[in-house]
Structure 1
C-alpha cells in the first residue's frame, strides 16, 4: 500500500516509516533573533577552534589540555547540531523529515549533550587524582597515555548511552498515519508523547540515563571542589595555588553547562509559550560553546601563553614591512 502524501501542515506519515515535525514556525521577529544567535555561534566556532589548536600546538603535553580540547569539541558539536536544525526550520518555514532522519537527529543531540557532561566529569577525576594521588597519577595517566585511554572509554560510554534514545524510539508504536511533534527538533519527550502506546518503562529508562550523567557530574564536581578547597585554603605553595585556580576554572565551566540545561529543560516547563521556548532553546544551545572557550582561554595559562605568542608574532610580521619602508625612505 503506497504511503499517503504529506499534508500541508508540516506532517509526514509515521505508518509508512516516516516521522514528522510540526515546528513552531519562526516568524520574522524570531528569525532576526535566530540569525543573531547564529552569528554568535559562528564567533564561538572561531573561539573553540582556537582553543583546540592551542592545545594541539602543545602536543597535549598535559592530560588537562586533552580534556579541554575534547570539551571544546563537544560544546561546538552541541551548538552546531542544535542551531543547524533551527536554521533549517527557519529557512524552510516548515520541515518534513523521515523517521530515520528523526532517529539520527535524536542521536546527535543526545550524544553531544552527554559528551559535554562526561568530559567535564573526567576533567574533575583527572584533577582530583593528580592532587590527592600524584604518584599513581604520573605512573598511570601522565606517562603511559592513560589520559587518552580514559577519554576514549568515557566517549564510548557516551556513545552507547546515546544509542538508547533512538533504539527505544524505534520500538514505539504510532497509531496515526501522521505524527506531529510539538518541538522544532526530534527530542525524546515530544516523540514519546506522540506515540499511542506510551510506556512508562521507556520514560524511566531514558530519564535514568540522563539524570545519572547529570547527577554523577554534579556530585563529582561538588565533592572534588570541596576537597580541593579544603586542601588548598591553608596552603601557600605554588602547586596548591595552581590546583585551586584550575578547580575554579572547571567550576565555572560546570556552572555554564548546567545553567544551559536548566534554561532548556526546567524553565521551559514553566514558560510554555512557543516564543519563550524558542528563545530559551537557542540560549541553551549557544551558551556553552561561547562561554566555555572564553573561560578556558582567559584562565588556563598554557592556552593563554599560546595566544599571547601568536599575537606577538603577528604584531612583528605586521610592523616589519612598515619599518622596512621607513628605512628605505
Structure 2
C-alpha cells in the first residue's frame, strides 16, 4: 500500500535543498552575514596569496602551507556558498544529482585536506622551535612539496568512496535534503537500502582523518611546549609561543565547531533542526573567513607587507 505523501522513484535526477528548515522566511536576512563572510573570505585569502607570491622573504615552508590553506579555504567556501545564496535569494532549491554528488565530494575532500594542512603547519612549528638550527635543512623545498602532495592525495583518496557510495544506493523515499548543501550522510539517508557501509566508512574517515590529525597536532604541541618551558627567560618563552598563536587560533576555529555538531547530534538529538544546520554552516564559513584575518593580524611579516599595499593619506 503506497503512502500518498511519499514519492517513489529510483536514482532521482535532482535533489531539493531546503536551506535552513524552519527559517525559510528569514533566508534573506540570514544571507546578509553569510554573504559578508564569503566576501571577506575571498578578499582575505586572495590577499594572502598575493602577498606571499610577491614577497620573496615569505618564500618559506610556513607560508607555503599558508598558501595551501588559503586555496583550500577558497575552494571549500566557493563549492557551497553560491548555491546557498541562490537558495536564500531566488528560492533555487533544485540541484542535479551529479552536481550534488560532486559537491559532497568537494566538501569532504577539502575538509580532510585542510585538516592535513594543519598537521603540516604543526610540523613546521615543531621543527622551527625544537630544532631551529636544522629547520632549513629538514624542511627543504623538496620535502615541503612531498608533504603538500601527500596531504592533497590523502584528502582526495580518503573521501573518494563517498560519491561512489552515494551513487550506488537506490533512492525511493524522497529527494528532499533538509540542508543548504549536499553532505554525504544526509544524502545516503534518503536511500531505501541498508546504508551501514556508508555510515561505517564515514566513521572510519572521521577517526583516521580528523581524529589522527588532532592527535598528531596535540603530540607536536606537547613537544613544542616542553621546548618553550626550557627557555631561560619569560620574555623569550612568550615570544616563542607567540609564533604559534596564529596556528593555534585557526586550529580551534576549525576543530571546535564540528566537535560541537557531533556532540549535539549524539547527546542532544532533540535540538531544533535549524540550529544544527546553522552550526554546520558556520563550520564551513567561519574558518575560511577567520584564517586570513588571524594570520594577517598575528604574523608580523604579512602585516607589514599588507600595510605597504594600503596607501595612507
Distance 1:22 1:299, change over 3 A: closer
Which whole-Å CA distance do the structure 2 matches of 1:163 and 1:240 have between them? 43
Q: CA deviation at 1:112?
A: 2.1
Which whole-Å CA distance do the structure 2 matches of 1:92 and 1:75 have between them? 25
Checking the alignment, whether the CA contact within 8 Å between 1:48 and 1:73 is kept in structure 2 is yes
Distance 1:249 1:18, change over 3 A: same
Find the counterpart in structure 1 of residue 148 from structure 2: 151
SS in 2 for 1:21: strand
Which whole-Å CA distance do the structure 2 matches of 1:69 and 1:161 have between them? 22
Checking the alignment, whether the CA contact within 8 Å between 1:77 and 1:112 is kept in structure 2 is yes
Which whole-Å CA distance do the structure 2 matches of 1:22 and 1:224 have between them? 41
Checking the alignment, whether the CA contact within 8 Å between 1:76 and 1:289 is kept in structure 2 is yes
Find the counterpart in structure 2 of residue 6 from structure 1: none
| TM-score, structure 1 normalization | 0.81
Checking the alignment, whether the CA contact within 8 Å between 2:177 and 2:186 is kept in structure 1 is yes
Which whole-Å CA distance do the structure 1 matches of 2:8 and 2:87 have between them? 18
Matched, 1:197 2:193: yes
Deviates more, 1:252-261 or 1:181-190: 181-190
Matched, 1:132 2:130: yes
Relative contact order: is structure 1 or structure 2 higher (C-alpha 8 Å, sep ≥ 6)?
Answer: 2
Matched, 1:188 2:187: no
SS in 2 for 1:185: coil
Find the counterpart in structure 2 of residue 15 from structure 1: 10
Deviates more, 1:50-59 or 1:104-113: 50-59
User: In the TM superposition, what whole-angstrom CA distance separates every residue of 1:173-220 from its partner, at most 9, and x where no partner exists?
Assistant: 2235x5333323211112221111123222111221123221122112
SS in 2 for 1:154: helix
Q: CA deviation at 1:233?
A: 2.0
Checking the alignment, whether the CA contact within 8 Å between 2:179 and 2:277 is kept in structure 1 is no
Find the counterpart in structure 2 of residue 325 from structure 1: none
User: In the TM superposition, what whole-angstrom CA distance separates every residue of 1:295-317 from its partner, at most 9, and x where no partner exists?
Assistant: 11111122122113323xx23xx
Which whole-Å CA distance do the structure 2 matches of 1:242 and 1:137 have between them? 18
SS in 2 for 1:194: coil
Misfit runs of 4+, over 4 Å: 11-14, 133-137, 236-243
User: In the TM superposition, what whole-angstrom CA distance separates every residue of 1:85-113 from its partner, at most 9, and x where no partner exists?
Assistant: 31122233252222211111111111221
Q: CA deviation at 1:272?
A: 3.7
Q: CA deviation at 1:226?
A: 1.7
Matches within 5 A, 1:1-329: 15=10, 18-23=13-18, 24=21, 27-59=24-56, 60-133=58-131, 137-142=135-140, 144-176=141-173, 178-236=174-232, 243-267=240-264, 270=268, 272-311=271-310, 314-315=311-312
Q: CA deviation at 1:264?
A: 4.5
Distance 1:243 1:198, change over 3 A: farther
Unmatched segments (≥5 aa) in structure 2: none
Find the counterpart in structure 2 of residue 5 from structure 1: none
Aligned residues: 303
SS in 2 for 1:20: strand
Q: CA deviation at 1:248?
A: 2.5
Q: CA deviation at 1:172?
A: 1.3
